Amino acid sequence: MKNIPLNERIIIALDVQKAEQAREIVKKCESHVTFYKVGLQLFMSSWFETVDWIVDRGHKVMLDLKFFDIPETVKLAVEQVNNRGVTFATIHGNDPIIQAAVAARGDMKLLAVTVLTSFGEEDMRAMGMTQSVEELVFYRAKRALELGCDGVVSSGLEVEKMRGDLGEKLFIVTPGIRPGANVSDSGDDQKRIVTAGMAIRNGANHVVVGRPITKADDPVKVIEVMQQDIIHSTQQL
């Protein structure tokens, strides 16, 4: 936990439409951050072009395509990502899907998506589910680890229980990060949110941050504030 370089703790989400926009963000931020997320929107625009460009600059990539299909299709999709220099790739799914992805991976690490951070307790009740979000996240994380996944994607609210019960072997990557004291009111589609420092203190390895950085007038300033929060939190570990 403490050995992760500060410039890799934050994974900047390049949730933009075009490769040119993504490159502009990377160039602005790469003096402070060397880890970037390429999601479905950007990938559909530029395919592997942006991924290769980021890797060629010596940075790390989280390819967040959340593979979910029949096991054979997921297996073939994961094989397409091998040897691209991707550090993390994300998957959804049941046991056979996860097993197929694990069997097909190369050197990259697979992260199982537990419950999206846009999904809250009220959504659980609306679907007739009696368990809490934390219980569902923990069950999915435990099962993913048993099936050979390297880690999970989870809100920072559920990280502490996972880290305490599942140990240090599990990589935990936390999206839904917002700056400021009034973190309970993000004003957007994220529901289960925390600050960068809270996520790291609870046991996350990395935090994924998009709009608070990419839409800021001074992205580097926002990064520096979050990194100071992370430094303070790691000193408490």
| Catalytic position from the list 66, 109, 142, 161 | 66
Q: Do residues 26 and 59 make contact, with C-beta atoms less than 8 angstroms apart? A: yes
Is there a catalytic annotation at residue 27?
no
| Residue 194 per-residue DSSP state | B
- Count other C-beta atoms under 10 Å from residue 157's C-beta: 20
Q: Do residues 100 and 77 make contact, with C-beta atoms less than 8 angstroms apart? A: no
CA torsion sign for 43, 45, 48, 52 is: negative
Torsion (CA) 222, 197, 176, 20 in degrees, nearest 10: 30
Question: Catalytic residues, which ones?
Answer: 66
